[in-house]
Structure 1
Amino acid sequence: MSPGTKIPIRTKAPKRFAVGLAVFYATVFSVTGTYLPFFTVWLKAIGIEAFWIAVIVAAPSITRFTILPFITAQAEQRHALRAALITTATLTALGFICLGLLRGPLAILVVFAITACAWTPLVPLTDGYALKAVARFGLNYGPLRLWGSTAFVVGALVSGVLADMIAPEHLIWVIAATAALGVFAAFGLQPLDAPGTRPAAPVRRVALLRNPTFLAIVVAAGLIQGSHAAYYTFGSIIWQNAGYGGKTIASLWVLGVLAEIVVFALSPRLTIAPSRMMLIGALCAVARWLITAQDPPLEILIVVQLLHGATFGLTQLGMMGLLVRHVPSHVIARAQGYFTACSGLAMSSAAMVSGALFARYGIAVYGLMAAMALSGAAVVLIWRRRLDAPPPSDQPHSSGVGG
């Protein structure tokens, strides 16, 4: 982020605080690292059809714009982010365990939807917890967040090895086991507020939704991140149909996340404006999905996967930088909830449409993803002057997000 007035740093971040947050980030994203590559493979292995797979996978995205904003708002109003993280991590682990006992598509949909109500708030609650630490202690978001991406890599590699060793119908237990680790890590999180801290004066929930700059941020980021829907839903199935084994599929996922990790690690040195980060991410996404739609050979696919560092990593950093710049710190978790709701709406809509298109047109579904990313780029360009404007004089910002 461009140099500017920084939030006053109250004290140096306790080492135990940073370590606990890094470990929890790792467990949260290790679940995603096992879920994304092989949850749909598990569904297919137990006989679930493509239509039902698309509907089931869309469930978390739907909860993001229904239940999730309520949970994040309540957790922040009550100054109970840590308690909310412990509760949601526990319910997530129990939900995945229950899924492993089911086989019918309707039963799986119902239980997974309930599980998603607890699972989907984990990332925005953790990001809100982290951004409060950015504001309070002057921490850098990128180096904290990279531990989540690193754990995603480890989770994907481990599940890839296991996918070649155990029957596909048992992959759900790998996901459940990693979710259980998150419960233990949640108890290691340190309280964010000092004892006796009084809540800030309440801010009307509707205030953020009436801010056009905030809406531009979440819509643009939602479209760009939502353009990953077909990749997250059918990427592994497409690669499996192309004849790639479990290790190759996992390695392709890992390549993308390794690029993401590099971006997060270098974020404190980046001098690119947050809006430009998002624009670069959007244009890279357009190129990525258009190339992927051509069913490229493995050599080209490897290079294309490295664009994930821009399509996800730069977009995420840009969005976080803009939120820290334009959103008061005491409602940052609520802002995270609204963003996740917006991206959830975009992701669920794209996932359900891509399910119908994939059944008929196959890999050409990536053309729709390119159009979504292009729309996100248009929003950034239209609102760029406002996005680049300095924060209000009564709202100092932190340079700790990167850029």
Structure 2
Amino acid sequence: MPSESQIPIASQDASKRFATRVALFYGTLFGMTGTHLPFFTVWLKAVGIDAFWIGLITAVPPVTRFTALPLVTGFAERRQALRGGIILTAFATALGFFVLGFLPLGTQHLPVLVFLIYVLTCCLWTPMVPLTDAYALRGVKRYGLNYGPLRLWGSAAFVLGALVCGMLFDLIAAKNLIWIIAGSAALGALASLALAPLDDAKAARPVTGDASALLRDGGFLAVIVASALIQGSHAAYYIFASIAWQQAGYDGLTIAVLWVLGVIAEIVLFALSPRFTLQPSMLVVIAALSAAVRWVLTAQDLPLAVLAIVQLAHALSFGLTQVGIMGLMLRHVPGHVMARAQGYLTACGGIVAGLASVASGTIYEMWGQGIYYGMAVMAALGGLVIWLARDRLSHQPHKAASGG
């Protein structure tokens, strides 16, 4: 049975259809995140959920990333049904948010009901990104495409979703904000139906190695640990950047522009990524060093113009890390365990980001902006991990979980 790397390149028309549909789904997937992030906690407060329950409820997604997520990705992959898994999780996510919207308000048990339904929803929502990444990488290999131009539409939709939320915020009653989230999730569910089948149960490669062998492979472990450290180094930035900028005297519009600058730079990098010629491992090393420099600069009291320039480094600290890590996954992980590999990657990232977020609160209280020095060390360690594993990653492609 030929491996996936031996599958002939499909026709140009099929390649374009695949790219368009995946880009559309990435757009709806991250567009929904762009509506959920600013609206969900506001809705929780509006329907009478107190601060304790809001904290408990918003802690659910990180927990499901390293508990339910690997189980769901593994289940879908063992049944050679990545597309089916994406469709199922997309519709279940939309259903979950619609159920939240229909809950009777003012009941004594509302916080418990919201918590339980949100747990069930997140168990199927959080696996959507790794399932989609695994599906996209299989298509990238099959059709001879590049990951970056597909993924950029997710970033663009996130910005659009956040901007639309900002415009609608004053026009919609807070208790009705859940319908925007549910509606965007429904768009994603509909878009998932357009995804082309990639898995052929009859022609699929038999699994000759246990996916758990990935966790015994030094190269793969280096990839997920490096990714977790570099991406996790953004924890303090995500939590405290807006607070620090507000304390520095910047208004809401300026703060929004600073955030958008970073995402726009990320989109540009994804668009240019097909031109990159360096090995993926070197891209990750460059990204790690860029992140370290970015955090050291962010710790300083910078003029607004300089801060805006530093924000453009998000393209390197986040975007280049994503491109490099996906390149390493494509080269080092066999296609038949890609979804489980993506699950492990996301789970590891969730654990590290969660720990970094918890630690950030305590450290920020003591050191303020000095917390970014710790984030710089964290990013640099991620680069060191990949640098030490670069030979293994370059010379042993597709060894992990290959069954020999």
Partner of 1:21: 22
Is the CA contact 1:9–1:138 (under 8 Å) kept in the aligned structure 2? no
Matched, 1:382 2:388: yes
User: Using the alignment, how far apart are the partners of 2:258 and 2:170 within structure 1?
Assistant: 15
Cα–Cα, structure 1 residues 34 and 362, in superposed 2: closer, same or farther, change >3 Å?
Answer: farther
Partner of 1:135: 141
Is the CA contact 2:334–2:399 (under 8 Å) kept in the aligned structure 1? no
**Which one of 282, 288, 298 corresponds to residue 282 of structure 1?**
288
Matched, 1:153 2:162: no
- 1:172-251 equivalences in 2 (<5 Å): 172-194=178-200, 196-198=202-204, 200-239=206-245, 247-251=253-257
User: Using the alignment, how far apart are the partners of 2:221 and 2:328 within structure 1?
Assistant: 11
Give the SS at the match of 1:139: coil
In structure 2, the gaps of 5 or more residues are none
Partner of 2:130: 124
Out of 140-149 and 235-244, give the one that drifted further: 235-244
Shift of 1:203: 2.5
Cα–Cα, structure 1 residues 301 and 31, in superposed 2: closer, same or farther, change >3 Å?
Answer: farther
Partner of 1:84: 85
Higher RCO, 1 or 2 (CA under 8 Å, sep at least 6)? 1
Partner of 1:257: 263
Letter in 2 for 1:277: L
Cα–Cα, structure 1 residues 372 and 36, in superposed 2: closer, same or farther, change >3 Å?
Answer: farther
Partner of 1:3: none
- 1:292-371 equivalences in 2 (<5 Å): 292-294=298-300, 296-358=302-364, 362-371=368-377
User: Using the alignment, how far apart are the partners of 1:339 and 1:246 within structure 2?
Assistant: 34
Q: Deviations over 1:154-202 (max 9, x none)?
A: 1122123334555666655433332221111111111113574345235
User: Using the alignment, how far apart are the partners of 1:174 and 1:56 within structure 2?
Assistant: 19
TM-score by length of 1: 0.85
Shift of 1:345: 0.8
Is the CA contact 2:333–2:400 (under 8 Å) kept in the aligned structure 1? no
Q: Deviations over 1:339-369 (max 9, x none)?
A: 1111011111122222444466555443443
Is the CA contact 1:58–1:352 (under 8 Å) kept in the aligned structure 2? no
In structure 1, the gaps of 5 or more residues are 1-5, 397-403
Letter in 2 for 1:31: M
Shift of 1:112: 3.5
Is the CA contact 1:88–1:122 (under 8 Å) kept in the aligned structure 2? yes
Letter in 1 for 2:181: I
Cα–Cα, structure 1 residues 106 and 378, in superposed 2: closer, same or farther, change >3 Å?
Answer: farther
Give the SS at the match of 1:9: coil
Cα–Cα, structure 1 residues 350 and 113, in superposed 2: closer, same or farther, change >3 Å?
Answer: farther
User: Using the alignment, how far apart are the partners of 2:277 and 2:39 within structure 1?
Assistant: 37
Shift of 1:240: 5.2
Cα–Cα, structure 1 residues 202 and 236, in superposed 2: closer, same or farther, change >3 Å?
Answer: farther
Is the CA contact 1:221–1:376 (under 8 Å) kept in the aligned structure 2? yes
Partner of 1:34: 35
The higher radius of gyration belongs to: 2
Q: Deviations over 1:12-35 (max 9, x none)?
A: 261333222111111011122233
TM-score by length of 2: 0.84
Shift of 1:265: 0.9
Out of 221-230 and 168-177, give the one that drifted further: 168-177
User: Using the alignment, how far apart are the partners of 2:250 and 2:223 within structure 1?
Assistant: 38
Is the CA contact 2:81–2:199 (under 8 Å) kept in the aligned structure 1? no
Once the two structures are aligned, what percentage of the paired residues are identical?
55
User: Using the alignment, how far apart are the partners of 2:233 and 2:85 within structure 1?
Assistant: 29
Matched, 1:74 2:97: no
Matched residue pairs, number? 391
Cα–Cα, structure 1 residues 189 and 393, in superposed 2: closer, same or farther, change >3 Å?
Answer: closer
